[in-house]
Amino acid sequence: MKKLVIFDLDGTLLNTIGDLADAVDYVMRSRNLPEHTNAEYRQMVGGGIKRLVERALPEELAKNEQYVEECVTQFRRYYVDNIDRHTIPYEGMPELLRKLQSMGIKLAVASNKFQHGTDRLVAKFFGDIDFVAVEGNREGAPLKPDPEIVNNILRIAGINREECVMVGDSSIDIRTAKAANIDSIGVSWGFRFAEELYDAGATIVATTMEELERALLTN
């Protein structure tokens, strides 16, 4: 059993796709650009806000750095004010976190979402969980799959790599864990599919909260 579990946020702890989609659609609509479905947005998220906006824009506009930055600024303003209108924890996740915490397992969050948004959502939905670290994207810090975010959490927690596992819903999370030389568990209820996780090198993909709990407590 591991001593530290690092969770991805969007698509792993929380279903945030509705609010992310609304914010991007707001930007698209205000600029008379085509909007997208939630299913399409599921394939766009994971690389941070800028990558999400670039993927949502028409190809020619996505190449215009200044235009992209203007859209990102517009997205942030809207999203900060509407960050939790549709967002909810995945069923059973709060209970699982409380159980792990009660067993003395340290918990942390590693997200590509901007730090303020990460902090706000974690505080609202998991306020009773004493995370040893809540790490989002900060100015100048590399995004996952760069392992810096995991390395920082390990330093804060004082845990060795072999005692840690990362849980996430995308290939980015699996690749982050591999880059940091820690174990990983994929979950299939988020924004991607099990095939992507296996292709990225995942050896375990949980399809239910019960499967995730068993994997965490027996590996």
pLDDT at 123 over 80: yes
The reported pLDDT for the residue numbered 40 is: 94
Q: Residue 8: CA atoms inside 13 Å, Cβ hemisphere, count?
A: 34
> pLDDT tens digits, residue range 169-213?
999 999 999 999 999 999 999 998 889 999 999 989 999 999 999
pLDDT at 219 over 80: no
d(CA 198, CA 98): 28
Give the list of residues 6+ apart from residue 111 with CB closer than 8 angstroms, or none. 8, 9, 10, 118, 135, 136, 137
Among 48, 81, 114, where does a domain finish? 81
Mean pLDDT of 147-169: 97
Give the list of residues 6+ apart from residue 81 with CB closer than 8 angstroms, or none. none
Bigger pLDDT: 42 or 147? 147
> pLDDT tens digits, residue range 82-97?
999 999 999 999 999 9
d(CA 90, CA 68): 31
d(CA 185, CA 167): 5
Mean pLDDT of 14-19: 97
* Number of domains forming the structure of the chain: 2
d(CA 81, CA 62): 25
The reported pLDDT for the residue numbered 105 is: 98
Provide the Cα torsion 139, 144, 147, 153; round to 10°.
Answer: 70
Q: Are residues 132 and 211 in the same domain?
A: yes
Question: Any idea what the CATH number is for the domain that residue 124 is in?
Answer: 3.40.50.1000
Mean pLDDT of 132-138: 96
Q: Residue 144 is part of which domain span? A: 4-15+88-218
Among 43, 65, 81, where does a domain finish? 81
Q: Are residues 104 and 60 in the same domain?
A: no
pLDDT at 129 over 80: yes
Among 81, 101, 129, where does a domain finish? 81
Mean pLDDT of 161-172: 97
Q: Are residues 10 and 93 in the same domain?
A: yes
Kindly list the distances between the CA atom of residue 137 and the CA atoms of 51, 101, 142, 148, 163, in Å, as whole numbers in the listed order: 13, 25, 8, 11, 24
> pLDDT tens digits, residue range 23-59?
999 999 999 999 999 999 998 998 889 999 999 999 9
